[in-house]
Amino acid sequence: MGIENIVFLLVLIAASLLFARNVQRIKKNINLGRDIDRTDRKGERWKTMAMVALGQSKMVKRPVAGFLHILVYVGFVLINIEVLEIVIDGVFGTHRILSLLGGFYDVLIASFEVLALLVLLACVVFLIRRNLVRVQRFFKPEMKGWPSLDGNLILIFEIALMTALLMMNGADQVLQARGAEHYASAGSFPISEALFGSWFTGLSTESLIFIERFTWWFHIVGILGFLNYLPISKHFHIILAFPNTWYSNLNAKGRFNNLESVTNEVKLMMDPNADPFAAPDPNAAPPERFGAKDVTDLNWVQIMGAYSCTECGRCTSECPANQTGKKLSPRKIMMDVRDRADEIGKLKAQKQEDEIDKKFLLGDYITEEELWACTSCNACTEACPVNIDPLGIILDLRRYLVMEESKAPQELNLMFGNIENNGAPWQFSMADRLNWKDE
């Protein structure tokens, strides 16, 4: 093992540890949420994950973006096999260790090259869509600043990584042809040869070794850096898309959960034998808030959704409220939940617990105006390529507003009153319910 290998090993270990720490941080933030059991119907869950996350079935509902995304996704997954080789080579100082696969290795490397080129081109098209074509959903208010920069950085990152990979291969290939020491002949390089062949054959062996080493290091350190960029970026979806689809809501979209805490109280109210003055059980847990005021009132699947959000804006672009100029944007709901969970996580880590209650998800991040604009139409949940449910969060926030603060819009309070008094949302008497028959 040379000094280069030791340096590499250290970089690898440091990057992995840092990544593990970042993942721990997000895991903690997700666990700020209340418990919920979503482990029923396992078969269906595996199937959903296989279709939606692995199979990208919802991505292709928009064919252009969907197709390009599949290129990047497949490219990313497969090229990781080459990354595995790069890591082994880096630790042991070998050259293209997987070449022991023989002829198959040539096929492998050649197809990675093709994929790398396709990924690169797809990323260029994505950049054009974001910055020149200016696809509308990337220019909503919640995308200003970091989210928009994040989207571009990811693409630039990927273009740089793919370029480095192809340059590395290009230099390697010329070195192999020259029979340079350490560069035993292995692999087939159709793309890098076409791109860099004529340029690189004109360079000296020393320059080529420098290019090969430089791009090798750039590529692998880039990947390790990217790995640690994920947790502060929407790009973390490449990991969370899988659990998020597995744990996603499998019920009919129109079915809203029945709050158990409410059921208990309603049953008590309707039970003629219940003693209204009975002393509360001293051992009972303090009553939960009805609905959600902050992310800690949401369940952990809802918070995981926020960390899985790719900020693609498909939800918002299909939202009837957003399309007609209302403030509501389901994507913003998810981003707000994530940002608030981040904030609480940070305050906890800094032991500033008393700062936490100075702000709330409801009010400081999401306004009542946004919440009341929702028609509960489920366009957002239908559109989301990773099965996130912004509507469930909107509902929980409304529940808090209505049941804990009685802060529904006046007309809705009238509607509640009518239902309560005469069993219809309008002011008609229950006794007149069958009058239509004789009209």
Partner 1 sequence: MSQALHVPTMAEMAAKGESPEVLFWVGCAGSFDDRAKKITKAFVQILNKCNVKFAVLGTEESCTGDPAKRAGNEFLFQMQAFANIEVMNGYGVKKVVTACPHCFNTLKNEYPELGGNFEVVHHTSFINDLFNSGRLIIEGGSFRGKRITYHDACYLGRANGVYEAPRNLIKKLDAELVEMKRCRTKGLCCGAGGAQMFKEPEKGDKDVNIERIEDALETKPNIVATGCPFCNTMMTDGVKNKEKEEDVKVLDIVEMIATAQDML
The residues that touch partner 1, with contacts defined as CB under 8 A, are 251-256, 258-259, 262-263, 265-267, 269-270, 290-291, 318, 320-321, 323-328, 369, 372-379, 382, 395, 397-403, 408-409, 411-412, 414-416, 419-420, 423-426, 428, 430-434, 436-437, 439
Tell the burial category of 125 from Cβ atoms under 10 Å away from its Cβ (0-12, 13-18, 19+). middle
Partner from partner 1, ligand SF4, none binding residue 384, C-beta < 5-8 Å depending on class: ligand SF4
Nearer to ligand SF4, 376 or 421 (CB): 376
Cα 319 to its chain centre, rounded Å, is: 19
Distance of CA 350 to the CA centre of its chain: 26
With respect to partner 1, which residue has the nearer C-beta, 24 or 429?
A: 429
Q: CB under 5 to 8 A by kind: which of ligand SF4, partner 1, none does 363 bind?
A: none
Among 82, 158, 311, 396, which residue interacts with ligand SF4 (rule: CB under 6 A)?
311
Residue 65, interface with ligand SF4 (CB under 6 A)? no
Could you say whether residue 375 binds ligand SF4 (CB under 6 A)?
A: yes
**What's phi and psi for 366, nearest 5 deg?**
-110, 130
Terminal CA-to-CA distance of the chain, rounded, Å? 95
| Site track 391-410 with ligand SF4 (rule: CB under 6 A), x = hit | x--x----------------
**Residue 151 in contact with ligand SF4, rule: CB under 6 A:** no
Angle, CA of 217, 223 and 226, to the nearest 5° = 135
Q: Give the contacts of 403 (CB within 8 A, at least 6 positions apart).
A: 262, 290, 291
Distance of closest approach, residue 298 Cβ to partner 1, in angstroms: 15
Alpha-carbon dihedral 297, 302, 308, 314, rounded to 10 degrees: -120
Q: Does 378 bind ligand SF4 (CB under 6 A)?
A: yes
Q: Which does 258 bind (CB under 5 to 8 A by kind): partner 1, ligand SF4, none?
A: partner 1
User: Which residue, 28 or 289, is less far from partner 1 as judged by CB?
Assistant: 289
CA atoms of 265 and 74, how far apart (whole Å): 51
* Beta carbon of residue 290, minimum distance to partner 1 (angstroms, whole number): 7
Among 174, 334, 344, 361, binds ligand SF4 (CB under 6 A): 334
d(CA 173, CA 353): 58
CB 401 within 8 A of CB 345: no
Residue type, 229: Y
Rounded Cα distance, 133 and 113, in Å = 28
Cα gap 278→262, rounded to integer Å: 18
Residue placing its CB nearer to ligand SF4 in the complex, 293 or 331: 331
Number of shown-chain residues binding ligand SF4 (CB under 6 A): 28
The contact set with ligand SF4 (CB under 6 A) reads 309-315, 319-321, 328, 330-331, 334, 374-380, 383-384, 386, 388, 390-391, 394
